[in-house]
Every structure is written in structure tokens, then in C-alpha cells.
Amino acid sequence: MNATTEREAPTVEYRLTAADRCDSCGAQAYIAAEVNGSELLFCAHHGRKYEEKLRSVATSWHDETARLVDAV
């Protein structure tokens, strides 16, 4: 008896889409930070550039930059 099993990659759902753009440069956003009730979106570059200052005032920090590594 031959049985084959297919392994399915786990489905990961992301909150940010290709339509979400960086507030600094307009590139695709991978980081969302909530500051004073407003959501700020950043590409990986600008998210890292401003991360230290933003994390001290942000009420939430959502980071999907791992998607960049997965795409390679």
C-alpha cells in the first residue's frame, strides 16, 4: 500500500496589503504603529529608522517585515 501525504504550508494571514503605503516614502508598508489614536504606516527602512522613537510613544507596533525574508 502506497500512501502519499502532501504537506501544506501553514496559512499565515497578514493585516497589511500591497495597497498599504509608507507614510514617509510611499513604498509598500510592512510596519504599522498606533500613536495618539492614529495609525502610521512605514516601509521596512523607515520603520527601522524611526523605531526607537516610535516605540516609546506608540500604543501598538505591528511588524510584518518577516514577509520580506519569506519572499526570497
User: What's the CA gap between 69 and 60, in Å, rounded?
Assistant: 23
Alpha helices in the chain (DSSP H): 44-57, 66-70
Q: Is residue 35 part of a domain?
A: yes
Give the tens place of pLDDT for each residue, 10-36.
666 789 999 999 999 999 999 999 999
In a domain, 8, yes or no: no
49 has pLDDT over 70 = yes
Q: Which range of residues forms the domain containing residue 52?
A: 31-68
Residue 1, in any domain of the structure: no
Is 10 among the domain residues?
no
* Mean pLDDT, range 33-40, rounded to an integer: 96
At residue 72 the predicted structure's pLDDT band, cuts being 50, 70 and 90, is low
Residue 15 lies in a domain: no
Percent of the chain exceeding pLDDT 90 equals 75
With respect to residue 16, please indicate whether it lies within any of the assigned structural domains: no
**For the chain, how many structural domains are there in total?**
1
